Structure 1
Amino acid sequence: MPKEMGEGYWQRIRTYSSIDIVICDVRFHKKMTMSSKEGEHNINLGFCLGDSIRWSAEGRKGEFGLDPGEVSAYGVLQTSNRCQYDVDRHFQGLTLKLNHMKSIGALQHLPLHKMSAALSGNSGLFNSGQMTSSMKRIVHDIIHCHYEGDIKHIYLEGKVLELFAVYLNEAILEKNSPSPLLGLSRTDIANLQRAKDILDADLISPPSLSELAKLAYLNEFKLKKGFKLLFGLPVHAYVISRRLEVAFDLLEEGSMKITEAAYAAGFGKAGHFSEQFKRKYGVNPSEYFSQLRH
């Protein structure tokens, strides 16, 4: 940014698919107003990491906004946005612009009209909520990507699709009936949610697959197939992922050492935790949290 205006930067990265990544980290020395146009058939996900931000949309009443730690989905309709930036506030965030979604291979089979309705909610344009811990970690991985060149684009495209999938699952599908999207009955969804709640309640000693099926009023086949379809992971992989999340939160608080957090989250061996952590995040826990704190 020009020094007379403020400090910081905007960075735009285009992946191989029609996906733009926009990273913002700015402070203004004087009050600024900026405008942007959004194309038709686009969906944007905005993640607020700094101070609150507010904007208006042409032809729409009222004001839209994001507070720290919130995520929004907006777009779908062609519109012009107008955003005001106040002095000496820290605006930091990540925006994913999914352009012409039908051209994005991994998304082309989704029923876009139903998904757009779910994203838009009752407003027809905007849906917001809190970022989950899974979203926060993927956003961190995107912003702090250390790869270069073609490998960077491959890595970022995978992370963008992962973030979009997590958003759909955790912010949309779990709050709306996903039966039109996934072909599951309401009873199946309720029972699968029950299975997930049982696992979440006892990550250290979860029931076996057969026990879980009985507790959730499902047969094992429907449990295995439906759980992966609804939550994106097989049952065992989900337990590992949730244990990683618990350990991550404990380490982020700074009150425990790596070994202590691993045991508290349900990992029998600290080495197994480090192995799973590196498989998911690409680095070992000590390196990751050293970078995060820096």
Structure 2
Amino acid sequence: MLAIYPNQKYIPERAVIMASSKENTVKTEAIIPRGTRYQIHAVGMKGKILTTEIQKGLLLTLSDFTLDKKLEIDEQYSNQEIFQLSFCIEGEFQWFHQNENTIQQYRLGAQECQIRFGALQQCHSTFFGGRKYHSISITLDKSRFEELFHCIYIRQAICILEKNYPVKVYRYTPRINKLLSEIEECVLCEEVRNIYLHGKILELIAILCDEVMCEAAINHYGVRIHEQEYEALLKAKELINQNYAHPLTIAEIAKKAAMSESRLQKGFKQCFGLTVNDYIIKKRMEMAKKLLESGNYSVSAVAWMVGYTHTGYFIRRFHEEYGITPGAIKKINK
């Protein structure tokens, strides 16, 4: 897998990448001259880390990957000012920032978010083999988003890198979860994609301020979700993520999530905007698209791999989801 960071302002001056397993450790060290693109090559890393400059002073990073072995990345900067919002969708991210007088440890779990600001000198990130990492990060130029920064700052919701204050982590709401999905799944043509994403990112930050930092704990449908019930629904969602090809029944999911079947069905739709069955189909279609784009499998094989016994039905559902047939996807990626 290859990760590329296009904006010169935020690339480190020096980077050390260390991949380790029981058998061996491979260490790569590089000094990154100004004017070059910062790229990370990691053997055994499957997925993507895609950073896009939506507009001047606004970067969007989509990360969705797994690792075969433990990976550590140590990056050194020259007091680079950073204003960044991070949203963890799946997995658990661990890293620390080190400046002259402080070391701040960070840990961000599924459905959690955090905002950081300050002068960055060193960042050390650790990723473990066999785990999935899925997140969205937004990096802003404070000088261009001064009003937005002030809105967040007065709510005392920012982790200041130079201060040894307690790290602030927030559980984000179902409405924010829906916006993150819309950002990640945008398939508009290149000419209008950034316009759409710019609007969605600003909407995301506004809702974050209103629903999370102002503690207006209300979801997109106007129904309040208690913390304990929300945790159970997150567990149900994770069960589906792990078993969508051969899904559990509603009764099995409800039992494992420790909630009633009726509350599971109603709460899942309220929190995630889809019924349980629609979410299973969505996960199947996402994996089918990835398998087809790899070019390694036939349409019938992909249908079977994501849980469909009838290829014709799979083709129809895929076309309804993406507006293109599985066969056409295979031809494009030959």
Does TM-score exceed 0.5, indicating one fold?
yes
1:8 counterpart (44, 47, 53): 47
For residues 177 and 81 of structure 2, the distance between their equivalents in structure 1, rounded to whole angstroms, comes to: 26
Shift of 1:120: 3.0
Match of 2:275 among 241, 246, 252: 252
**TM-superposed deviation, 1:252:** 3.3
Contact 1:9–1:25 (CA<8 Å) still a contact in 2?
yes
SS at match of 1:145: coil
Gaps of 5+ in 1: 176-192, 202-244, 257-285
Counterparts of 2:149 and 2:96 in 1: how far apart (Å)?
29
1:69 to 101, 111, 117: 111
- The alpha-carbon distance between structure 1 residues 64 and 110, as it changes in their structure 2 partners (threshold 3 A), is closer
Higher share in helix:
1
1:154 is matched with which residue?
A: 195
Query: For residues 77-121 of structure 1, what are the alpha-carbon distances to aligned partners after superposition, in whole Å with 9 as ceiling and x for unaligned?
Result: 43422101111211111111112x2313xx537636843743238
> Conserved in 2, the CA contact under 8 Å of 1:117 and 1:124?
no
Contact 2:88 2:110 in 1 (8 A): yes
What is the CA deviation profile of residues 20-52 of structure 1, one whole-angstrom value per residue up to 9, with x for unaligned ones?
Answer: 100111112222111346765532111112211
Match of residue 61 from structure 2 = 22
Q: Percent identity?
A: 15
Q: 1:97 to 1:116 in 2, by over 3 A?
A: farther
Whichever structure has more strand as a proportion of its residues is 2
SS where residue 152 of structure 1 aligns? helix
**How far apart, in 1, do the equivalents of 2:116 and 2:45 lie?**
28
Aligned partners of 2:223 and 2:270 also within 8 Å: no
Match of 1:163 in 2: 204
CA apart distance, 1:68: 1.3
Structure 1 vs Structure 2 CA RMSD: 3.8
Task: Provide closer, same or farther for how the CA distance between residues 168 and 35 of structure 1 changes in structure 2, counting only shifts above 3 A.
Answer: farther
After TM superposition, the structure 1 stretch with the greater mean CA deviation from structure 2, 61-70 or 80-89, is 61-70
2:83 aligns to what?
A: 43
Distance 2:148 2:86 in 1: 23
**Paired residues, what number?**
197
Q: Distance in 2 between matches of 1:109 and 1:4?
A: 39
- Note the residue ranges of structure 2 that are not aligned, 5 or more in a row: 2-40, 225-267, 280-316, 323-334
The question of whether the paired residues in 1 share the 8 Å contact of 2:177 and 2:272 is answered with: no
What is the deviation of 1:248?
A: 6.1
Cα pair 1:17 1:157 within 8 Å, conserved: no
Asked whether the 8 Å contact 1:9–1:26 carries over to 2, the reply is: yes
TM-score, normalised with respect to structure 1: 0.56
Aligned to 2:180: 139
1:78 corresponds, among 116, 120, 135, to 120
SS class of match (2:158): helix
Cα distance in 1 for partners of 2:121, 2:276 equals 41
The alignment's TM-score, normalised by the length of structure 2, stands at: 0.50
Conserved in 2, the CA contact under 8 Å of 1:16 and 1:153?
A: yes
What residue is the counterpart of 1:263 in the other structure?
none
Is this contact kept in 1: 2:59–2:140, CA < 8 A?
yes
Match of 1:97 among 102, 120, 139: 139
Contact 2:178 2:273 in 1 (8 A): no
Relative to 1, partners in 2 of residues 1:9 and 1:114: Cα closer, same or farther, differing over 3 Å?
closer
